Copies of this chain bind each other. A is one copy, B any other.
């Protein structure tokens, strides 16, 4: 079923056969070549075309991962780490063939250190599983990219999501890693100290490396105390710029808002219809969430309400009851499906521009005009406290010209963000789609990305074709 990939550098057939034979006898039923399983592993949730691996192996320990990598290294066969398949940028597509390392059987929470607000988990633990296992400890892990991704995948793509404005991204929340390197060694990076000045920051180098420098098998994470109080609020604005200006003021006042989400009028229209959000207008809208003590949350919300009023925002609606809050955030999480419902039969994918917040209104406005020139339907949601917004680009999958227009639009969004001092990807990663934009963003520094890749993976077997422009 694999479409031929231009420039594919598949391994030599005899070498591949030899590795597959070796892994088959070593892993038995945990070595799979069934076409359906391989195809399930050959594409994430983004736009990337299907590129199934030659086999899928399900290791249960770091040692087993090391065994797989050593076998692949000896035969120059690509290794593609796989968490749960929610990647949006084609990270898991086996574009040069090879062996997929599915980490779903490494799903143990290994330590929870309540006194130190940290834990250690295997890479296949999902964020919802981790939070379920933290129930009763008074702690939680905040990073929430929407999808129920694995912690390993989130570390590998430097994921974040709606509450990064308060809690940071995986960059700030990974304390250390266990990694199987490209020659099959097992190393640990970082540690349990909250900070360290001991040498180059290997942890931060592997966070966001998308499986191209090694396979992350264990992750140490920061945890947080569950807030005493949580409340949500919604404010609607006459125009997008007023909404953004209100957020800038809140950031300058250091109001520790836990989430600030922007929905443009089109997305709000979609959400009102899809999630039955009665009583809201089709206007640019901010969703807020506040975490803290009872008094602290009331104060934050009060300050925010004043700021909203100062910017012409109306209808500051509170949602202190868990039920109402859940309804709001469910609507936000379902924004993608609400958007798809605007154009039944369409596919959708998400852009990921992130700009300095002062440029956000301009970036969104120019993008909106650009969208209109394409004739496509593209609502916008944004983690506006971070300057990160997603254009949900809808297109008819049967219309090749429309897909091309959609891809062209996405590329222009990346380049626009870079031109405005931002980045082509705030949280989805590079994968196969952003290699060109990365060169535009980093210029000559890309040579040093290549130098790192060569230093860590001299044979070029770790998730080849991703992350680093060749």
A residues neighboring B (CB under 8 Å): 113-118, 138-139, 157-160, 164, 168-169, 171-172, 181, 185-189, 191-202, 204-205, 207-209, 213, 224-225, 227, 248, 251-254, 256, 292-293, 295-296, 299, 303, 352, 354-358, 386-388, 417, 421-430, 434, 437-438, 441-446, 448-449, 451-452, 454-456, 467-468
> Hey, which chain B residues are within 8 Å of A442, CB to CB?
188-189, 198-199, 202
> Hey, which chain B residues are within 8 Å of A191, CB to CB?
421-423, 441
> Hey, which chain B residues are within 8 Å of A199, CB to CB?
208, 430, 438, 442, 446, 449, 467-468
Give the distance in Å from the alpha carbon of A196 to the alpha carbon of B446 in the complex. 15
Min distance, Cβ A352 to any Cβ of chain B, angstroms: 8
Taking a contact as CB atoms closer than 8 A, the residue among B138, B185, B186, B200 that contacts A209 in the complex is B200
Sort A-B residue pairs by CB-CB distance and give the 3 closest, nearest first: A204-B204, A115-B358, A196-B423
B198 and A444 within 8 A (CB): no
> Hey, which chain B residues are within 8 Å of A224, CB to CB?
254
B449 and A200 within 8 A (CB): yes
> Hey, which chain B residues are within 8 Å of A168, CB to CB?
172
> Hey, which chain B residues are within 8 Å of A358, CB to CB?
113, 115-116
Copies in the complex: 2
> Hey, which chain B residues are within 8 Å of A429, CB to CB?
197
Most chain B beta carbons < 10 A, residue from A253, A352, A438: A253
Give the distance in Å from the alpha carbon of A357 to the alpha carbon of B357 in the complex. 35
> Hey, which chain B residues are within 8 Å of A387, CB to CB?
193-194
Give the distance in Å from the alpha carbon of A386 to the alpha carbon of B200 in the complex. 20
B208 and A201 within 8 A (CB): yes
Give the distance in Å from the alpha carbon of A186 to the alpha carbon of B386 in the complex. 28
Give the distance in Å from the alpha carbon of A19 to the alpha carbon of B451 in the complex. 28
Give the distance in Å from the alpha carbon of A159 to the alpha carbon of B205 in the complex. 19
Taking a contact as CB atoms closer than 8 A, the residue among B357, B445, B467 that contacts A115 in the complex is B357
Give the distance in Å from the alpha carbon of A192 to the alpha carbon of B417 in the complex. 11
Min distance, Cβ A179 to any Cβ of chain B, angstroms: 8
Min distance, Cβ A130 to any Cβ of chain B, angstroms: 17
A225 and B200 within 8 A (CB): no
